[in-house]
């Protein structure tokens, strides 16, 4: 078989391999929930108990948050909770205060944005909030009082339609307490011990008795709908970097904050990628086996597959270029050799 034919066939095979692997990479990157597992820093907890470790033990995994004095502007509003000595009642008071500030302004008037101070101002002006913005505010208010907090995101195996909540570490009960802003409440076990989200899922799975405690007058969903969402969204992750002020205009994009006006106009999620690249990198904690591509690949498997795809794509690209250059040199050598022959020989050949 002529060398040129062999070279063309090899290039076609490599091109097919390249197209297939690039296609798989694009498929993985096409879904934001899959892509950020690869872009953000993700730590895995082997057990729910490891995920529910006290804040000082989670610091080794990168758990961080704003200092209470940095949130001093929130303390006057939060100080109403100090009328109670019970940690759980304090959380209820803070959440009630957010609900009591709400004024029904019609569609399109809900809180928006990532900036904590802006959300706080919107809340005080009466704008209602969704689960994410209210959880953000509960975390900030509780942190201004000295509590350790972390954001919790529920999600389906497909990664779609997430739900946000907040966990506050209670020194009184020595546990993380999951507080759901939409429910305006929390859960306890049969003995009255407040539950983290991981512990709540465990007890529900085991059929153990639990009790939902919420304010029926001020809430966006009932106990029944809350438990329905709990079943529909079996997975969750925790935010490790809970420095809420990092999303302020004067902090976003880190060293490139001077370009804030331009970078802030980038569409979501491109702006978040810029934050991750130049500002505060997203970091999260997941339970082992609850992050990946649906039910097919876990987090570790997903990363190995992506590494394989990247390596094969790079090697295929290099080989295609090398084969193309080799073919080009061979053609040039042939033309040069052919040009040195008599015209009668070139015609006969």
Domain boundaries, the chain: 1-42+298-338, 47-248
- pLDDT averaged over the chain? 85
Q: How many whole angstroms separate alpha carbon 64 and alpha carbon 41?
A: 14
Q: How many whole angstroms separate alpha carbon 62 and alpha carbon 18?
A: 37
pLDDT at 84: 97
Query: Per-residue confidence at 349, pLDDT binned at 50, 70, 90?
Result: very low
Q: Please state the rounded mean pLDDT for residues 148-174.
A: 88
What pTM did the predictor assign?
0.78
pLDDT at 103: 74
Contacts of 54 (CB under 8 A, 6+ apart): 169, 174
pLDDT at 108: 56
Which range, of 116-120, 217-221, 330-334, averages the lowest pLDDT?
A: 330-334
Domain 47-248 has what CATH class?
A: alpha beta
Q: Please state the rounded mean pLDDT for residues 332-343.
A: 62
* pLDDT for residue 80 is more than 80: yes
Which range, of 138-152, 231-245, 255-269, 277-291, averages the lowest pLDDT?
A: 277-291
Q: How many whole angstroms separate alpha carbon 143 and alpha carbon 165?
A: 15
């Amino acid at each position: 078989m002529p060398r040129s034919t062999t070279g063309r066939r090899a290039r076609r095979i490599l091109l097919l391999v390249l197209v297939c692997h690039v296609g798989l990479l694009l498929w993985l990157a096409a879904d934001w929930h899959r892509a950020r597992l690869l872009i953000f820093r993700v730590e895995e907890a082997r057990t729910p108990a490891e995920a529910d470790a006290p804040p000082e033990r989670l610091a080794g995994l990168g758990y961080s948050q704003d200092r209470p004095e940095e949130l001093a502007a929130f303390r006057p509003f939060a100080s109403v909770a100090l009328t109670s000595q019970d940690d759980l009642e304090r959380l209820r008071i803070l959440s009630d205060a957010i609900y009591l500030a709400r004024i029904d302004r019609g569609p399109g008037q809900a809180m928006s944005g990532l900036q904590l101070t802006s959300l706080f101002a919107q809340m005080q002006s009466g704008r209602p909030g969704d689960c994410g913005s209210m959880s953000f505010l509960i975390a900030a208010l509780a942190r201004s009082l000295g509590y350790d907090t972390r954001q919790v995101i529920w999600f389906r195996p497909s990664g779609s339609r997430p739900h946000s909540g907040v966990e506050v570490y209670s020194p009184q009960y020595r546990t993380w307490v999951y507080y759901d802003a939409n429910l305006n409440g929390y859960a306890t076990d049969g003995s009255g011990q407040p539950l983290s989200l991981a512990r709540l899922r465990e007890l529900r799975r085991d059929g153990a008795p639990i009790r939902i405690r919420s304010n029926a007058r001020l809430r966006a969903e009932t106990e029944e709908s809350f438990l329905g969402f709990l079943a529909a969204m079996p997975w969750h992750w925790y935010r490790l970097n809970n420095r809420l002020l990092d999303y302020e205009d004067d902090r976003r994009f880190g060293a490139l904050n001077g370009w804030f006006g331009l970078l802030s106009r980038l569409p979501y999620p491109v702006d978040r990628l810029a934050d991750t690249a130049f500002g505060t990198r997203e970091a999260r904690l997941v339970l082992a086996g609850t992050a990946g591509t649906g039910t097919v690949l876990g987090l570790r498997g997903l990363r190995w597959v992506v590494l394989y795809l990247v390596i094969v794509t790079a090697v295929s690209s290099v080989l295609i270029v090398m084969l193309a250059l080799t073919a080009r040199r061979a053609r040039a050598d042939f033309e040069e050799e052919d040009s040195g022959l008599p015209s009668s020989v070139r015609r006969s050949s």
